């Protein structure tokens, strides 16, 4: 997974992560050796890191935060 994951939106990253994680879990449950799923493990890790970074960026910007309450908005007189 050599593409720039940070350029994707959070929904796309989560979808990709879920798909890769399910594939990895299936392979492991079917008896794949840890070494055989190295690339899949790397992909899952890279996606998790990209999701974490994207979430940090979103949460650091109050205007984009999903946790922002209207009561926190400044009042204009």
Could you report the per-residue pLDDT of 11-59, keeping only the tens digit for each? 999 999 999 999 999 999 999 999 999 999 999 999 999 999 888 887 7
Residue 71 in any domain: the answer is no
> Domain of 18?
5-65
**Residue pair 9/47 in contact by the 8 Å Cβ criterion:** no
Residue 34 in any domain: the answer is yes
**Residue pair 58/10 in contact by the 8 Å Cβ criterion:** yes
Helix, coil or strand: residue 31: coil
Residue 9 in any domain: the answer is yes
Q: pTM for the whole thing?
A: 0.72
Residue 36 in any domain: the answer is yes
Domain count, the chain: 1
Is the model's pLDDT at 77 over the cut of 60? no
Residue 77 in any domain: the answer is no
Q: Residue 26's closest CA among 44, 14, 1?
A: 44
Residue 75 in any domain: the answer is no
Cα distance between residue 37 and residue 43, in whole Å: 10
Residue 23 in any domain: the answer is yes
Residue 37: its pLDDT value, please?
97
Residue 45 in any domain: the answer is yes
Residue for token pair 């190295």: 38
Helix, coil or strand: residue 58: helix
């Amino acid at each position: 997974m050599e593409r720039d994951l940070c350029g994707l939106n959070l929904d796309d990253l989560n979808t990709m992560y879920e798909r890769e994680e399910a594939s990895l879990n299936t392979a492991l449950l079917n008896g794949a050796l840890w070494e055989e799923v190295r690339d899949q493990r790397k992909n899952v890790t890279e996606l998790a890191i990209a999701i974490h970074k994207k979430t940090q960026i979103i949460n650091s910007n109050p205007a984009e935060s999903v946790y922002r309450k209207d009561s926190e908005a400044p009042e204009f007189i």
